[in-house]
Every structure is written in C-alpha cells, then in structure tokens.
Amino acid sequence: MKPLFLKPVFKERIWGGTALHDEFGYEIPNEHTGECWAISAHPNGPSVIENGSYAGMTLDQLWREHPELFGRPDQPVFPLLTKILDANMDLSVQVHPDDAYAKVHENGELGKTECWYIIDCKEDADMIFGHNAGSREELVAQIEAGNWNELLRRVKIKPGDFFFVPSGTIHALCEGTLVLETQQSSDTTYRVYDYDRRDAQGNLRELHLEKAIDVTTVPHHDSVSEPRVEERKNAVVTTFVDSEFFTVYKWEIKGQEPFSFDDKYLLLSVIRGNGQLLHQGEQYDLNKGTNLIIPVGFGTFEIDGECEVIVSHT
C-alpha cells in the first residue's frame, strides 16, 4: 500500500496572480492563476494520481473503482476538495448554498461549507466575513441600494489564522492573501457583488442575487472554533475544526514523528518546509507544495523533517 500523490489542477481567475508559482514552484498556466485544485475529484477539475499502480487515474475514477482505499464509503462522490488560493486582487463578495438547496437548485451538487488557513497575507490585511443586516428585508434593501460599506463586515487577518465558513456566510478574500481552503467538493458560488469589475472582454461578471439572498444566513453569526493544541515529542498537532463535513489539522513537525489513522483516509498538503514520509521501509519526499492522500488501512507512518502540513478527513 502506497500514499497517493496528486497532480494539481490550476484555474485562471480575474483576481489571480503568480504566488502559486513564486511560493510553491507550481507550473502555472499564466499570470492570473488564482486557484490550485490540489486534491480534487470534482468533474470541473479532477486531480490525477502520479505514482504507483494507480498512476494516470483521476481521483474521481479511483473513488468509483477502488472504494476499498477509502473505507468503502457510502457517499456517491468524493466529499472533499483542497485548494490553494492566490488572492492577488479582491475576490467577489459571495455566498454558498447548503446541501439541501444545492441538491434542488444545482442539479444534485453538494453544498459548500469551507474553511481557510491563512498561509500568508500582506501587512494589515483583512477579509469580508459576514454582514450587518438584522433581517432579510434589510439585507435586500442594503444590496439594492449598494450600501456595501454598511452591509459588509471586515475582519483583520494575519498568517496562521483559521476561519470556518459555513454555507450561508457572505464572504470574500481580499488582495494580498494566500490561503489553503478545505471545502466540500462543490463548485457552486453565488456572487453578491464584484466591485463592478469587467472581464477581458469588457463584460461585467454575472451576479446571482436571487439565489444569494435565498441562502444567506440572517442575521450573521460567527462560527467560532477553538483550536485544540497537542504537544508531541517532535510535532505540534493543532485541530482547527471538527465538523460534520470535515476535520482539519495543522501538523508542525520538527524531527521524526509517528502518526496513525487506520480507519480514516487523510488528505495532506505540505505548506512549508520539507521532509520525508516513512512507511514499511519506503521513503517518500514531502516538499513544499506536495499533495497526497493516505488510504484507509495504511497503518502507522512517520514524517521526518521540518515542515508544516495541513491535514483533513471526513
């Protein structure tokens, strides 16, 4: 049994830049690359297995044909999607539906609850997180009047911050932010406001106000998750969130540390440093920007080096 290393998929975005190349060495398609779909089985951008007997298969194909690697789950689709986002400019103000709404209105697509780990950001950076409307009527009135400064809540951010973003939360990453996002495997976004930007053809981007108003949680309330920190001999393990959709950790490793999740498959993304994964006499390089899945039943493995890894599972 081997870890499954994945080749990312990259997405051009009007707000993207070159940080995915500059920080991680990825071969990006152009200078407006906003998203790295690092671990994805979504049909709009499935990752490809790079090593072992499954090399060349897409992750969605592997999910269908080899469910034993994932504990024979009952979900029809791979439930998670890991992205790295380069917000070189402000993203549109947006909101995502929950599972029930997306199933009806988006052809059975999953809803989109997500979370962000701030890898880096410019000094004094902020983001849009929530709104100030006390009722849905007030929300509609503020949107129709374009009172964005009054409506939208801004939150200061710094590297190392973590935010849990349930479906129904109005939000937007802002200029100068590099983020690892763990989310449900969904590509459904309802734009609320896009700063009246125009695309390369001079067109305003589409807004989705009716659906956005339908799904926005009113009034807003912050979903605060208190991180749990476990000090180990050669690692610090921080559990950021443990929700019905995903559990997300940060492993800060200095030395050689064993891990074991026999009944879970794990999604791993190396965001800083370098190391090696050691398992049954085999050694696998873990460099900054490496993304992989540890299958169910993998047993105990060790990571040796100095690195930071964001880890998730359902």
Q: Which residues are catalytic?
A: 191
* DSSP states along 50-84: -SGGGTT-BHHHHHHH-GGGGT--S-SS--EEEEE
Distance CA 166, CA 225 (A): 12
Cis peptide before 258 (omega within 30 of 0): no
| Nearest alpha carbon to residue 289 among 274, 299, 301 | 274
Beta bridge partners of 255: 305
Would you give the DSSP letter of residue 58? B
Q: What 3-state DSSP class applies to 6?
A: strand
Element (DSSP H or E) covering residue 16: strand 9-17
Distance CA 117, CA 161 (A): 6
Distance CA 304, CA 248 (A): 21
Integer CA distances (angstroms), 138 to 94, 98, 132, 218, in order: 18, 22, 9, 10
CB atoms within 10 A of CB 65: 11
| Nearest alpha carbon to residue 180 among 119, 248, 129, 94 | 119
